[in-house]
Structure 1
Amino acid sequence: MNTEHLIKESRSGDRSAQHLLYQQLSAPMMGVCIRYMKNQQDAEDVLLEGFYKVFKNLEKLNYENENAFFGWVKRIMINEALMKLRKNKEIQIMSINEDVDKEIDISPLKSLETADLLKIIRSIPVGYRTVFNLYEIEGYSHQEIADQLKISTGTSKSQLFKAKKLLREMLQSKNEGYGS
């Protein structure tokens, strides 16, 4: 069954269609959730809450194409992750740093395996990690991030700067360990 047909059947309450839609999307959406959450259990909670909202709101969805649907589901997952972080008071945004406009070279990231990179990103503070993911991975603008997190654009830029700086320091220290 194609995605459009699965959505149509899911809207009418067909549990097997809902299950197939979940199976089709759960792995990539788990990847989205795990980027924001500190551990697997929290990511799974976000995934389940996100899918609950997906199925609850399928009636409101105006299906255009598979990519648009995927983006809609992904946005729900990101919003769920941000809500969980806010609810648990995990997002603690630091003050603005005057070095914000300096660009940090994160080229060492390109040589890492995805799993290693994810592990390093997950180890940085939640505020840094959240802004880094939203900006670098999801492609949100600083204004969109500021609106989502209810912070200033300057704070978003500062968090991104600090995240990149911390990631670079962690990568350099990791690389030094390999060369000795």
Structure 2
Amino acid sequence: MITLSIIHQAQQKDVCSQRKLFDAYGKILHRTARRYLSDKSVMEDAVANSIYIMLEKMGPCKFESVGAFESWIKRIVVNECLALIKRGKPFKILDEQEIETYHADDIVIENLTADKILEVISGLPVGYRTVFNLYEIEGYSHSEISETLGIGVGTSKSQLSKAKVLLQKRIIELDPAYGKRKLVL
């Protein structure tokens, strides 16, 4: 369990405390990066860069709680992922015909685990996935997303809407009977 004392010791470059932070938060940072990035090597680069930034920049920070520290490091990995996305392919807005070409594995909805949900989200096109994560998971507003990604507010709203439609289609594809139950009024 991470305490403020461990965080403060890590800020003083205590290697043992830094290792405890790495052990405690490495998987969390990896999971966060996985929501944004589909390429495993790019994900690992984002996590490694985030840990480096965390260890290098935490010294002068004043953390009043463990929760504040956790929010700070999650923000670092999200920002690192966004930077990598921006360096990659520009956002592409898919039309309805392109959405139809995406398919999910044929498994039963009852077997849908957190990892499978994460996999479905990570299978979204980069623009949809990024806006979905920022809005629904990180709690950004559309104006914050617009500013962060350099896209219009309308584009942000459109990407989110289309991401939700595509997610719904993929989940229904996992179990067509589930989709029929949900579509019946």
TM-score norm. by structure 2 comes to 0.81
CA distance in structure 1 between the aligned counterparts of 2:2 and 2:36, rounded to whole angstroms: 30
Compared CA separation, residues 122 and 61, structure 1 to 2 (3 A): same
Which consecutive segments of 4 or more residues in structure 1 shift more than 3 A? 109-112
CA distance in structure 2 between the aligned counterparts of 1:17 and 1:50, rounded to whole angstroms: 17
Q: CA deviation at 1:172?
A: 2.1
Report the counterpart of residue 83 of structure 1 in structure 2: 83
Gaps of 5+ in 2: 97-108, 180-185
Report the counterpart of residue 20 of structure 1 in structure 2: 20
Report the counterpart of residue 106 of structure 1 in structure 2: none
Q: CA deviation at 1:13?
A: 1.9
Q: CA deviation at 1:151?
A: 1.1
Contact 1:63 1:69 in 2 (8 A): yes
Compared CA separation, residues 177 and 38, structure 1 to 2 (3 A): farther
Q: CA deviation at 1:134?
A: 0.7
Report the counterpart of residue 32 of structure 2 in structure 1: 32
Letter in 2 for 1:140: Y
CA distance in structure 2 between the aligned counterparts of 1:116 and 1:96, rounded to whole angstroms: 25
Q: CA deviation at 1:174?
A: 2.5
The question of 1:60 aligning with 2:64 is answered no
Letter in 2 for 1:148: T
Compared CA separation, residues 177 and 120, structure 1 to 2 (3 A): farther
CA distance in structure 2 between the aligned counterparts of 1:33 and 1:116, rounded to whole angstroms: 15
Report the counterpart of residue 172 of structure 1 in structure 2: 172
1:25-79 deviations in Å (ceiling 9; x for gaps): 1111111111101033222111110011111111231111011110011000100
Structure 1 SS opposite 2:59:
helix
CA distance in structure 2 between the aligned counterparts of 1:34 and 1:95, rounded to whole angstroms: 22
Compared CA separation, residues 47 and 154, structure 1 to 2 (3 A): same
Compared CA separation, residues 64 and 110, structure 1 to 2 (3 A): farther
Contact 1:131 1:156 in 2 (8 A): yes
1:77-108 deviations in Å (ceiling 9; x for gaps): 1000000111123x4143899xxxxxxxxxxx
Aligned-CA RMSD value: 2.6
Contact 2:2 2:20 in 1 (8 A): no
Report the counterpart of residue 126 of structure 2 in structure 1: 126
CA distance in structure 2 between the aligned counterparts of 1:93 and 1:21, rounded to whole angstroms: 37
Q: CA deviation at 1:173?
A: 2.4
Equivalent residues in 2 for 1:102-113, closer than 5 Å: 112-113=112-113
Q: CA deviation at 1:2?
A: 4.5
Report the counterpart of residue 104 of structure 1 in structure 2: none
CA distance in structure 2 between the aligned counterparts of 1:56 and 1:13, rounded to whole angstroms: 9
Contact 1:93 1:159 in 2 (8 A): no
Letter in 2 for 1:24: A
